[in-house]
Amino acid sequence: MAQPQLQTGVSRPPRHDNCVQPRVGLLRGFTLHCDGQQVLLPLSSQRLVAFLALRDHPLLRLHVATTLWPDSTEERSVANLRSALWRLRGGGCDLVQASVSQLRLVPSVEVDYHLVTRRARCLLDPSAALVVDDLDEESFAGDLLPDWYDDWVVIERERHRQLRLHALESAAERLISAGRYGQAIQAALLAVGEEPLRESAHRTVVRAQLAQGNLGEAILHYRRYRSALHRELQVEPSAMFDDLMVGITRS
C-alpha cells in the first residue's frame, strides 16, 4: 500500500509590501484588517461582509437584502442594505463590488474561512499531499461566527464544523498509515477538542496510541471517554470501539 506523501511546509502566494490585502476573519468571531490594522465596522456592515464572504460568487441585491433582514418588508430590507453599504465605505477598505443588481466580495480579499476550507478538503483527498503544517490549532479550532444565530450562519457553521472534524480524522488516519503516530494523535485530539463526545475521533486517538505501543495510554483514554459518555448521555461506546479494545483489560 502506497504511503501518503508528507510535506512539512506549504507554498504561499508572493506578498508585496506595498499591496496589503484586506483580511476578513469569520472563525472565532468577525474581524477585519486593512493595511495591517484592525477596522471596526457597525454590525449591519459586518453581517453584509460576512454573508458575501461565505459565498464566492455574485449575489442579487434583493436576495442579500431579504436574507439579512428577513423580518422587514422588501422595501425596508433594500433600504437597510443601502445603509450597510454606505457605512461600509467609511471603513476605508475596498471590500464589495457592487453593480445595479448584484453584489460580491472583492475576489482579492483574504477570508480565513476559505483558507481553512481548502486545507480541510486537501486533507480529505487521499491523492493530495498531506501538509503537516496545515494541522495547526489556529486553523482548525474555533467555530464560524460563534455568537451569531441567523439561519444562514447556523447552517453553514455546522457544515463547516463537520468538514473540519472529518478532515482532522482523515489526516490522523493517514499519519497512522505513515507511521507518524505522535502527529496522528495530535490531529485526532484537535477533533476531540472540537467535539468531546465524538467517538470516531476518540477511536482514532486510541488506534494511534496502540500502534505506537502505548497500551496504558490507550486504555486510560478509552476509560475516560467511556465515563464521559455515560455521564453526559447515559450510553456506552459502540461495538466498533469495543472491538478495538478486544483482548485489552479495561475493568
Domains of the chain from N-terminus onward: 23-108 (1.10.10.10), 111-244 (1.25.40.10)
The H-assigned helical ranges of 141-238 are: 151-177, 181-194, 199-212, 215-233
Longest dimension (CA), the chain: 69
The secondary structure of residue 144, as a DSSP letter, is B
C-alpha grid cell for residue 212?
A: 505506537
Interval 99-127: pLDDT, tens:
999 999 999 999 999 999 999 998 999 88
Tell me what pLDDT residue 141 has: 79
| Residue 64 vs residue 21, higher pLDDT | 64
Average pLDDT value for the chain: 88
B/e letters for 97-126, b = 16+ CB within 10 Å, e = fewer, are eeeeeebbbeeebebbbeebbebbebbbee
Mean pLDDT of 61-88: 95
Tell me what pLDDT residue 14 has: 38
